[in-house]
Every structure is written in structure tokens, then in C-alpha cells.
């Protein structure tokens, strides 16, 4: 898979998180609104919201400041400042008392490490996130590790592990974004294992699902898997 596609899929995996907030007045509401803008892949709006939160950080408590730091780390990663994002996210993994924040920060480090082809760091922080997964109550956040892990395992050629992660997400009543990611991972893993693809269910339904979620890179990745499957057969 091309590095641009991998970058989009991995950072895209980190977008499957929080629902849109209809009205944002308090600092906490604005944090959730910024997270929702990130899930919608609206990078310009996300950056503007994060910058506004940073200007008003005196209104935040310590937990909200840590949440803002994570959003700023995502902003850095989107802008290509991988070193800055990684350094602060690693600090959050060690320092944050909130399990969900540590979990998300570990996955961000794993994402960035994979983009840099630093797979040892990526797997180490993925392992830390997976060790916390069962304590994450929100399924949308819990399933995020499955899409990150599945993408990484596919890149390593560990297709059975990738398939297991995809099936785990799909069995956990995923939100639409995570479902799209899992279906893309599943198709690639099945093909990597040399198994027969059901072009209706495994490809066309997955393409339609991801297109409905406005995830063009996932759509293209599924189509690329189909092309590889046709070439092999």
C-alpha cells in the first residue's frame, strides 16, 4: 500500500470517536465539538476550534487541559509535525490519570510510528492500548484500537491477526466509521490469507458502506484489494 494511502487510513482510524455536539457553550462542550469536527475529517474547522480552545484555556480544568493537549497533538500530526505530536502524546500516556486519554494517546503514538515505518514503537504503544481496551466503556473509542491494530497487522502481513481484529470490531455493534474501517481491513486480510472473497458482501457492500461515511481512502483501498484478488485469480 502506498504511504499516502497508509497515512490516510491510519490517521483516519483515529477519527472514529465522538458524536457531534449540537450546541457548544462550555469549554467541555467545545472540546467535544472539536473532537467531532476531527471525526468528520473537517481539518480546517478542527484546527480553528482547537486554536480557539487554546486561546481560552484559562477556562479549563486540568482534565480538560489534557484533553486539549491530545487534540493539539492530532493537529500537529495532521500538519506533519510527527515529532512534536509523538513527544507530547507519549507524555500523556505516562502522566494522564484518565484511562481513555492514555488509551487514545497510545493509539496516536502507534499511528504516527506506523506512518514513519517505526513498527517497533508502533507495536509497543499498540500493545499498551490493547492492554487497556477492556476497560474502555464507549464502544466507538474501544473499537478504535481494532482498526489501528488491524491496519498495522495487514501492513506486517499478519493477516490472521488483522482478520481477528476486524471481526472483533464487527461483532461489537460498531459505529458506522469503525464498521467501514473494519470491513476494509477484513477484505484485505481475507485476500492476504488467500481466501475466496464474496464480491457482493466483502467488496461491494463494504464500498457502499464506506462511501456513505465519506471515507474515500477506505473505498479506494477496498477496490485495490479487489484488483489484487482479480489479478491473483
Tens-digit pLDDT profile for residues 97-127: 999 999 999 999 998 998 888 889 999 999 9
Tell me the whole-structure pTM to 2 decimals. Answer: 0.80
Q: What does the H/E/C string look like for the chain?
A: CCHHHHHHHHHHHCCCCCCCCCCCCCHHHHHHHHHHHHHCCCHHHHHHHHHHHHHCHHHCCHHHHHHHHHHHHHHHHHCCCHHHHHHHHHHHHHHCCCHHHHHHHHHHHHHHHHHCCCHHHHHHHHHHHHHHHHHCCCHHHHCHHHHHHHHHHHHHCCHHHHHHHHHHHHCCCCCHHHHHHHHHHHHHHHHHCCCCCCHHHHHHHHHHHHHHCCCHHHHHHHHHHHHHHHHHC
Tens-digit pLDDT profile for residues 144-175: 999 999 989 998 899 999 999 999 999 999 99
Amino acid at each position: 500500500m502506498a504511504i499516502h494511502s497508509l497515512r490516510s487510513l491510519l490517521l483516519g482510524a483515529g477519527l472514529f470517536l465522538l458524536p457531534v455536539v449540537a450546541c457548544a457553550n462550555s469549554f467541555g462542550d467545545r472540546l467535544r465539538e472539536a473532537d467531532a469536527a476531527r471525526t468528520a475529517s473537517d481539518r480546517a474547522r478542527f484546527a480553528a476550534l482547537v486554536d480557539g480552545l487554546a486561546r481560552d484555556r484559562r477556562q479549563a480544568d486540568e482534565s480538560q487541559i489534557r484533553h486539549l493537549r491530545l487534540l493539539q497533538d492530532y493537529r500537529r500530526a495532521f500538519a506533519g509535525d510527527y515529532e512534536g505530536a509523538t513527544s507530547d502524546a507519549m507524555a500523556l500516556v505516562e502522566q494522564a490519570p484518565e484511562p481513555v486519554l492514555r488509551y487514545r494517546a497510545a493509539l496516536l503514538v502507534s499511528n504516527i510510528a506506523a506512518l514513519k515505518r517505526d513498527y517497533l514503537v508502533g507495536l509497543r504503544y499498540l500493545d499498551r492500548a490493547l492492554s487497556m481496551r477492556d476497560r474502555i466503556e464507549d464502544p466507538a473509542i474501544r473499537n478504535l484500537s481494532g482498526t489501528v491494530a488491524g491496519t498495522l497487522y495487514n501492513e506486517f502481513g499478519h493477516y490472521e491477526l488483522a482478520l481477528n481484529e476486524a471481526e472483533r470490531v464487527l461483532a461489537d455493534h460498531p459505529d458506522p466509521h469503525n464498521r467501514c474501517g473494519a470491513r476494509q481491513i477484513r477484505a484485505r486480510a481475507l485476500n492476504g490469507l488467500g481466501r475466496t472473497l464474496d464480491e457482493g458482501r466483502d467488496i461491494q457492500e463494504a464500498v457502499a458502506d464506506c462511501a456513505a461515511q465519506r471515507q474515500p481512502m477506505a473505498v479506494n483501498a477496498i477496490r485495490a484489494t479487489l484488483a489484487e484478488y482479480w489479478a491473483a485469480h
